[in-house]
Structure 1
Amino acid sequence: MLESGYYNSKKTDDICEDVCGPASKAARLRCILKGFNLRALLALLIGVPLCIFGIYLHGQKITYFLRPLWESPPKPFNYIPHYYHENVSMENLCRLHGWGIRETPRRVFDAVLFNNELDILSIRWNELHPYVSEFILLESNSTFTGIVKPLFFAQHRDRFKFVESRLTYGTVGGRFVKGENPFVEESYQRVALDQLIRIAGISDDDLLIMSDTDEIPSGHTINLLRWCDEIPEKLHLQLRNYLYSFEFFLDDKSWRASVHRYRTGKTRYAHYRQSDELLADSGWHCSFCFRYIDEFIFKMRAYSHVDRVRFKYYLKRSRIQDVICQGADLFDMLPEEYTFKEIIGKMGPIPSSYSAVHLPGYLLQNVDKYKYLLPGNCMRESG
């Protein structure tokens, strides 16, 4: 027994003793867990990892869907109505646009950076052939992502003998900087194209078309601009957006193609917004319009947005073929829009269009050669 006036101050680490009394370790563990909701604990242990995995898989979709919350739409263009009919004189067409008529047409220079779009290039040049004074093409042995590539145009130059007398062709060596942002290499090649344009003999007030190979101005648009006086110095072209072929019409929001009245020392080849003026319904943008599955894979790995290839299975041939026939997105992305209404309205596959009206003339004149670009022909060759 303790002597009078003393007490036992010995501490214990048993946090359950006061509630459950002395017990074995197993009993104490059961006592500790008694205060927890087992279902809530299981939901936490399973739900959190699933949420993290879901964000990993679909984080890009979440970001694009929330785009209207963190990014405002760009300043709207000043749309210029576009008038055309083959039976209306050029003088009247120019007057309808508020422009004068020239005594002689301007010279036109069409300049492109070339990757591997041989069929689209053929359709483009045949569409523009009657109106272009000089075709300018630059290709590199490097993709924008630093992958070594063949000089595809050089290997198939015989296909384009019809422009040989009006062709300025050049090559530029890639820099192959590992880990570099692809847009840096793209800018480097566009600067090289600037030099090639000067070599081609362009002069002040000549027209210079700046657009990617698959952004095809209609021939009558270029003819209008070369004959009309007082046209804007920098004019963007609104193109009809197609995906995979002319079966899947996406929208009419392609605007990066532009036509410039050349100014020595001022005009620079670029692929971004340079003006507020936009000429309506001026041609076609046919994105990822390839004959072979391998060409899809090559571009997905080669172009500046290679970061969109988030998983290897995106490059699986059977998946790509299914996506093409469905009119779905190759990168499993949501629409890049600035309002929830537009994003929701564009979600899901693109509906098929069975209209082949007002497409490039050379395409319709050579249906057997380019059948894969027309409605109802989504199957691609494997080579």
Structure 2
Amino acid sequence: MASKKTARTILGLGFACFLWLTLFCPDRYSGGLHEITTSVSLPSLGFLQASFPKRSQKHADYYASRAAHDFYAAHSYTVFRPRSPTNERKVYDLIIVNSKLNFLEIRLNTLYNYVNYFITIKSPKTFQGNKKPLAPHKGDVMIVADVDEIPRPKTLLVLRSCNYPRRLTLASKFYYYSFQFLHDGPDWPHPQATYYQGWRTLSPTNLRNGDGGFRLTRSGEKGVLGNAVWHCSSCFPTLAQFLNKIASFSHGWMNRDEYRDKDRIAAAVRGGTDLWERDTETFTRIDKNTDVPPMVLREPERFGYMTSRDGPSAGFTDYP
């Protein structure tokens, strides 16, 4: 009697698994041998470069497109269906790196427009089981910066070639909205650079905030390298990104409806005036500024908003 009950239980579980695989995972995979074909062109992945919120819709349109259907059908696979129309499927490329840096460069260049995140992986041991040196060497340069704080190449040569203070501020001119508007006032006091000292190395937070380490010697460890970085705050290509930044401010008053008005934002950005009308925040207009990162000048069709906010759109791609 028990054996029959056990058999029924196993049969029931097997049937349930069959239903689950059939009803809920019809497109999970397709077995067998498949091969990349060159007879069908690669569909455009323009949605990867699109900005939100348009990006989510373009991503959904891509899955529903005939080009995507034909491409996957040619490879004997079915089209992946995200759980929701706006749920973007991302690609993480995990790369094992040893010493073939030339192939790493080729790989990054080849897959740049198709991968969301590149993650490099390095084993702590060689194939023979020998330990690898995983840490930087003592004296190696370390920079802690926001993404919009771009060191000048000459700055990196100075750091590579010279002895410098343990807490070095890479000061910069402070541009706002674009490299067309220079903030009146002192230089921007970031990012920071230090050098590797093993366990004595300053943490990124301590380096950025100017604390940590031994209090009595802290002031003697500091130095400033002027005009070392390009920095532009709130240099956004879309008004949606500007609004998102406002929403993230810790000061609630800066996120009032009156400051989220799109016309008001565009007028402030176009004219180089402070959105919140603060007396301390004024800017000097610099037209045709060429002291910018080289790529900004090389690709004006992509980065024109970084050098000019003139015109009805104020350089935003989603306004008016």
TM-score by length of 2: 0.51
Which of 227, 235, 243 matches 1:297?
243
**What does 1:302-341 correspond to in 2, within 5 Å?**
302-303=248-249, 305-309=250-254, 311-335=256-280
Match of 1:268 in 2: 203
Q: CA deviation at 1:264?
A: 2.4
Q: Percent identity?
A: 21
SS at match of 1:313: helix
The answer to whether the Cα contact below 8 Å between 1:217 and 1:239 also exists between their aligned partners in 2 is no
Instruction: From the superposition, tell whether residues 312 and 217 of structure 1 become closer, same or farther in structure 2 (CA, over 3 Å).
Output: same
Q: CA deviation at 1:241?
A: 0.5
Match of 2:304 in 1: 371
Q: CA deviation at 1:248?
A: 0.2
For residues 223 and 215 of structure 1, the distance between their equivalents in structure 2, rounded to whole angstroms, comes to: 17
- 1:161 correspondence with 2:103: no
Instruction: From the superposition, tell whether residues 224 and 330 of structure 1 become closer, same or farther in structure 2 (CA, over 3 Å).
Output: same
Residues 213-271 of structure 1, C-alpha deviations (whole Å, 9 max, x = no match): 1111111111221122x222221011110000010011451012111102222320123
For structure 2, the residue ranges without an aligned partner over 5 or more in a row are 1-50, 52-85, 94-106, 113-117, 122-132, 212-220
SS at match of 1:368: helix
Match of 2:79 in 1: none
The answer to whether the Cα contact below 8 Å between 1:246 and 1:356 also exists between their aligned partners in 2 is yes
Which of 209, 224, 230 matches 1:284?
230
Larger RCO, structure (CA 8 Å, separation 6 or more): 1
- 1:225 correspondence with 2:171: no
Which amino acid in 2 is paired with 1:273?
Answer: G
Match of 1:239 in 2: 172
Aligned residues between the structures: 189
For structure 1, the residue ranges without an aligned partner over 5 or more in a row are 1-117, 119-149, 171-198, 336-345
- 1:213 correspondence with 2:147: yes
For residues 119 and 166 of structure 2, the distance between their equivalents in structure 1, rounded to whole angstroms, comes to: 24
Residues 17-48 of structure 1, C-alpha deviations (whole Å, 9 max, x = no match): xxxxxxxxxxxxxxxxxxxxxxxxxxxxxxxx
Structure showing greater radius of gyration is: 1
**What does 1:90-101 correspond to in 2, within 5 Å?**
none
Residues 277-325 of structure 1, C-alpha deviations (whole Å, 9 max, x = no match): 100110211000000000000011124x443515222111111111101
For residues 256 and 278 of structure 2, the distance between their equivalents in structure 1, rounded to whole angstroms, comes to: 13
The answer to whether the Cα contact below 8 Å between 2:169 and 2:224 also exists between their aligned partners in 1 is yes
Query: Quick check: 283-292 or 350-359, which moved more?
Result: 350-359
SS at match of 1:253: coil
TM-score by length of 1: 0.43
Instruction: From the superposition, tell whether residues 244 and 296 of structure 1 become closer, same or farther in structure 2 (CA, over 3 Å).
Output: same
For residues 204 and 151 of structure 2, the distance between their equivalents in structure 1, rounded to whole angstroms, comes to: 17
SS at match of 1:309: helix
SS at match of 1:279: strand
The answer to whether the Cα contact below 8 Å between 1:293 and 1:317 also exists between their aligned partners in 2 is yes
Match of 1:380 in 2: 316
For residues 330 and 318 of structure 1, the distance between their equivalents in structure 2, rounded to whole angstroms, comes to: 11
Q: CA deviation at 1:367?
A: 1.4
Q: Give the superposed CA RMSD.
A: 3.5
